[in-house]
Amino acid sequence: MSTDTELDNLLNAYRVAPASAALRQRIVQNASRPSPWAELLAAIGGWRIAGPALAASLMFGVVSQLWWTQSVSHSVAEDSVWTLAMLNTTQEWANE
Amino acid sequence: MTNCEDDLLVSRAGKGEHAAFEVLVNRHLDAVLGFAERMIGTRADAEDIAQDTFAKAWQQARRWKPGQAQYRTWLFQLAMNLIRDRWRKQRPSEPLDDTIADTQATPDSQLQSAAQAARVNAALQQLPERQRAAIILNHYHGLGNIETALAMDASVESVESLLGRARRSLRQSLNSERV
């Protein structure tokens, strides 16, 4: 085989059978099926309900995080005051 | 005209119109299946790839931007990525099994052409992945160098070089089998 045409002719010998009707049908049916996310969204009432619910839960998350951070930093500050004073507030020491 | 029609059909499919998607499947399934079968070497795996390619095409139809590339080129790109993923996860199953099995009960001329097809398939499977993709897209699907480069996410120069090397290797391996 010396020329490009000869190689092309040989390559053309390798033909692929067309797709079966069953495969076509399978592909189209798969597309008709909604995605699991879409199904879940429909089950919880669509975006009109899921959207505000998601926003509210996000807000709750942010607010509770802020509140928790503030309360923890307050207690740490209190602890450090006692430590600085080299005092212990446990019951054992209080009794003595 | 065909590209414009494809663009229209994809935008309709992106809005959830199944009939438009069905037309796209009927138009391009054979090309995608042919590409996958020649890349992988086996029919069953190629059918899986074709199915996954169109599933992705359906999911991403909304993101399709007309005018960037031909829809068919984009499908080849999706198929190529899926084939690479598959190769990363598992080694491809042995090629040629189907072809050899099919040649058992056929008349002489058919047997001869089936044997020739099997030889070409074997020669293609020996090529490195990128050379194989380049020659399949260029020779079997008639993509020009620019479109092949787009489908392969490569430069036009590298596609030209891949095609040259692929042709040389194919010529060598098919010649050596003849002797």
pLDDT digits (tens, 9 = 90+) for B72-85: 999 999 999 999 99
Per-residue pLDDT for B121 more than 70? Answer: yes
Residues B74 and B145 in one domain: no
pLDDT score for A37: 75
User: Domain limits at B72?
Assistant: 1-92
B45 within domain boundaries: yes
B101 within domain boundaries: no
> For chain A, what are the domain ranges?
4-95
How many CB atoms sit inside 10 A of residue B29's CB?
A: 22
Count of the separate structural domains present in chain B: 2
Q: Dig out the tokens for B98 from the structure.
A: 């189907």
pLDDT tens per residue across span A62-89: 999 888 888 776 665 566 666 666 666 5
With H, G, I as helix, E, B as strand and everything else as coil, classify residue A89. coil
**If you average pLDDT over every residue of chain A, what do you get?**
79
What is the residue type of B50? A
**A1 touching chain B per CB within 8 A:** yes
User: Which positions in chain B touch A13 (Cβ < 8 Å)?
Assistant: 113, 116-117, 120
How many CB atoms sit inside 10 A of residue B9's CB?
A: 20
Residues of chain B above pLDDT 90, percent: 61
B100 within domain boundaries: no
pLDDT score for A39: 72
Could you give the ipTM of this predicted complex?
0.78
Per-residue pLDDT for B1 more than 50? Answer: no
- Chain B residues whose C-beta is within 8 A of a chain A C-beta are 18, 21-22, 25-26, 29-30, 33-34, 37-38, 43, 47, 50-51, 54-55, 58-59, 113, 116-117, 120-121, 124, 135, 139-140, 167, 170-171, 174-175, 178
pLDDT tier for residue B26 given thresholds of 50, 70 and 90: very high
For an interface test with A, give the residue of B78, B103, B120 to mutate (most A CBs within 10 A). B120
CA angle B111, B116, B122 (to 5 degrees): 125
CATH number at residue B163: 1.10.10.10
More reliable by pLDDT, B96 or B50: B50
pLDDT tier for residue A91 given thresholds of 50, 70 and 90: low
Provide CB contacts within 8 A for B17, sequence distance 6+: none
Q: If you count them, how many residues does chain A have?
A: 96
pTM over 0.80: no
Question: How far apart are the C-alpha atoms of B58 and A32, rounded to whole Å?
Answer: 10
